[in-house]
């Protein structure tokens, strides 16, 4: 019996240790979430009148920064239940067992439906008499109208808004261009025929699997579709967290290689080291190393860069 208890205790310690050592990057951070969906929140504010700070803070709170089961499996970021819903449904325990929640084709549809949900229900009508910059009034009004059962709901929203300065988005009169790069749905750049033809296909370049970004794609949707973690997309493509997506952009699903697809590259105007790294499927740090360049510096137009090891 003692041996059995000892083994059980050891198993618990191991399981606890594994859980604690899971990389934090495997979960979407709050800043990831804000960067992803601030453009959509501002767009919804300009169309419906719901403050962007309220939309974002509700999305953050209700979806656990995009990490909740409901967000990942149903693209439902606002906890909206079925209520006369004729679309696909998702069942899970919430206030009661087996409650019905709406399923959306994309997170953007969830944002749009959230605005419509508030705009078309009479119990929320008083909210739209408030100024868009009165996020405290909106937070309290949502609770009073029965959006959430948690008595501290207003305080939770206000804390998220103020800690992340989300109220600055309520002052915007248009969606900034850099927000549009993050939210592909807002981007007016049209994908060319090649991009459209590759929709949903996994392609191969320099023996590395990749996809081309389609209109409507987000980091979240790509991760979900190809069962990847956000940190992998960032790392494999040398992407900064504030960087957006554009239709036609190449996204590698595997690490790039130590040698490019060709022997060398002649730098064209406007090209960066990262552009060249993506074009030839070579790791960015390796590209710097092969050319004896300081990481972070950029090449000159017309410069010849080595993509493979020189033959001795």
Q: Name the pLDDT band for 310 (thresholds 50, 70, 90).
A: low
Q: 243 versus 1: which is more confidently predicted?
A: 243
* CATH number attached to the domain at 187-252: 3.10.350.10
Predicted local confidence at residue 178, as pLDDT = 67
* CATH number attached to the domain at 264-306: 3.10.350.10
Two tokens, residue 81: 């239940």
Position 107 pLDDT exceeds 90: no
Q: Name the pLDDT band for 257 (thresholds 50, 70, 90).
A: very high
For the entire predicted model, the pTM comes to 0.55
pLDDT digits (tens, 9 = 90+) for 143-185: 999 998 899 999 999 999 999 999 999 999 988 876 754 433 3
- 187-252 and 264-306 share one fold: yes
Domain positions in the chain are 25-182, 187-252, 264-306
Q: Which CATH architecture has domain 25-182?
A: Orthogonal Bundle (1.10)
């Amino acid at each position: 019996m003692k041996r059995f208890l000892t083994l059980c205790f050891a198993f618990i310690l191991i399981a606890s240790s594994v859980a604690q050592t899971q990389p934090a990057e495997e979960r979407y951070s709050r800043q990831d979430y804000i960067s992803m969906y601030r453009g959509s929140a501002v767009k919804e504010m300009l169309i419906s009148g719901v403050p962007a700070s309220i939309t974002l803070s509700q999305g953050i709170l209700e979806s656990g920064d995009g990490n909740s089961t409901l967000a990942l499996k149903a693209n439902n970021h606002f906890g909206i239940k079925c209520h006369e819903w004729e679309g696909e449904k998702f069942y899970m325990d919430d206030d009661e067992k087996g409650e019905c929640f709406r399923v959306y084709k994309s997170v953007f549809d969830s944002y749009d439906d959230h605005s419509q949900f508030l705009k078309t229900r009479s119990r929320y009508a008083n909210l739209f008499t408030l100024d868009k910059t009165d996020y405290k009034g909106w937070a309290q009004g949502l609770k009073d109208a029965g959006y959430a059962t948690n008595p501290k709901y207003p305080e939770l929203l206000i804390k998220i808004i103020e800690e992340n300065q989300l109220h600055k988005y309520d002052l915007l009169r248009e969606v900034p261009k850099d927000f549009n790069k993050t939210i592909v749905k807002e981007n007016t750049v049209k994908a060319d025929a090649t991009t459209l033809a590759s929709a949903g296909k996994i392609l191969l370049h320099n023996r590395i699997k990749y996809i081309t970004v389609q209109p409507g794609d987000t980091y979240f949707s790509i991760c979900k579709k190809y069962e990847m973690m956000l940190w992998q997309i960032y790392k494999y493509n040398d992407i900064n967290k504030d960087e957006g997506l554009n239709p036609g952009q190449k996204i590698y699903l595997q690490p790039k290689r130590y040698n490019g697809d060709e022997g060398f590259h002649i730098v064209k105007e406007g090209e960066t080291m990262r552009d060249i790294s993506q074009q030839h499927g070579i790791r960015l740090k390796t590209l710097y190393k092969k050319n004896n360049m300081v990481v972070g510096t950029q090449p000159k137009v017309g410069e010849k860069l080595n993509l493979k090891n020189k033959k001795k």
